[in-house]
A and B are shown apart, each in its own frame.
Chain A
C-alpha cells in the first residue's frame, strides 16, 4: 500500500514537472517569437528567432520525438539562423533599423485581425480534418523509438529521403544559378542563337566594344605604316 502511494506521488510530481516545463517553454517560445518580429535591431531579431527555434525543440522532447528535436536544433538553430545572419551581414541596408518602414496603426490593426483570422482558419481546418481516416489501416503504431523511425524512413518509406535530397539539391543549384546569373551570361557557351544574343536590348552594349576595336586599329595603323 505504502509503495503504491509513493508511486502515485512520484507520478504526480513527474506530471507536475511536465506541466511546469510545458508552460515555461510555451511562454519563452511565444515571447521570443514576438521579439523576433518586433525587435528594432534585425540582427537581434534573428538571434531571438534562433533561440525560439531551439526552445521549440523542448516541445518535441516533451512529445517524445527526440530525433525531430535534434533535427530542429541542427537545421533551424544551426543552419537557418546562421544563414539569416550571413544574409543580414551581406545586406548593409537591412541592418539599419532607421530605414525600416513602420506600418501605420490602422494597417497594423488590420494585419492583426487578418492574422487572427488565419490562426482561426488553420485551427479549424486542423481540428475538422479527419486525420484517422487519411492513414491506411495496418500502419505501424507510434512506439517513439528511434530504431523504428529509422526503419520506417530508410526501409519502407525511402521515397521521403529521396524527395528531401532532391529538394535540397534543386534549391542549392537554383540558389547558385540565381546568384551567378549575370556572371554566367558572360560565358561564350551561353551566348548564341538561343542564348542572350536573341535579346535586342543587349546589342547596344556590344557596340562600345566594336568602337574600342576600331580605335585600337586606328592606333595600330600608324605603327604599321612606320614599319613599312
Chain B
C-alpha cells in the first residue's frame, strides 16, 4: 500500500504550484488555471485522508463532489467576468496599461 505521506506530498506540491501561478502570473486565464490546480491538490488530499482514516468515511467523497461542482461553477463565472474585462479594457493581462472607456 502506498503511504499516505506520498499522496500528501504531491497534493501540497500541487497547491504550491497553483499558488505560484496565482501570485506570479498576470494573465487572467493562467490565474484561473492556477486556482484549478490548487483545487485538484485539495481534492487529492481530501480523498487520501478519507482512505487512510477510519472515521472520515464518505464525508470526504461528498466534499470532493461538492468542490468539483463549485470549481465548474466558478470557472464559468470567471470566464464570463474575463470576457467582460476584455470588453471593457481590451486586454486580459492585469499588468498591461489598460484602455478605459472614458
Chain B contact residues, majority secondary structure = helix
What's the tally of chain A residues with a CB closer than 8 Å to chain B?
Answer: 83
Q: Given A99, A103, A141, which contacts B91 in the complex, CB threshold below 8 Å? A: A99
Q: Which of B47-82 contact A (CB under 8 A)?
A: 47-51, 53-59, 61-62, 64-66, 68-77, 79-82
State the Cβ distance, A120 to closest chain B Cβ, in Å.
8
Q: Is the CB of B1 within 8 A of A175?
A: no
Give the interface SS of chain A, mostly helix, strand, loop or mixed: helix
Point out the residues of chain B lying under 8 angstroms from A123, CB to CB.
8, 12, 15
Q: Determine the distance from Cα of A131 to Cα of B95 in the docked complex, in whole angstroms.
A: 41
Known: A18-B1, A37-B25. A101 touches B48 (CB 8 A): no
Say whether A115 faces chain B, with CB atoms less than 8 Å apart: yes
- CB of B40 within 8 A of CB of A68, answer no
> Which residue of the partner chain, among A15, A65, A135, A168, contacts B69 with CB atoms under 8 Å?
A168
Number of A-B contacts (CB under 8 A): 241
B residues in contact with A26, CB < 8 Å: 6, 10
Question: When the two chains form their complex, are residues A115 and B74 in contact, meaning their CB atoms are under 8 A apart?
Answer: no
Known: A33-B17, A103-B24, A118-B15. A87 touches B6 (CB 8 A): no
Chain B residues with Cβ below 8 Å from A34 are 17
Say whether A75 contacts B71, CB under 8 Å. yes
A51 at the binding interface (Cβ < 8 Å): no
As a 0/1 sequence over residues 13 to 39 of chain A, the CB contacts with chain B under 8 angstroms (1 = contact) are: 001001100100010011001101100
Interface residues on chain B, number (Cβ under 8 Å):
74
B19 touches A142 (CB 8 A): no
Residues of A within 8 A of B (CB): 15, 18-19, 22, 26, 29-30, 33-34, 36-37, 42, 45-46, 49, 52-53, 56, 59-60, 62-65, 67-68, 71-72, 75-76, 79-80, 83-84, 86-88, 90-91, 93-94, 99-101, 103, 107-108, 111-112, 114-116, 118-119, 122-123, 126-127, 131-132, 135, 139-142, 144, 148-149, 152-153, 157, 160, 163-164, 167-168, 170-172, 174-175, 178-179
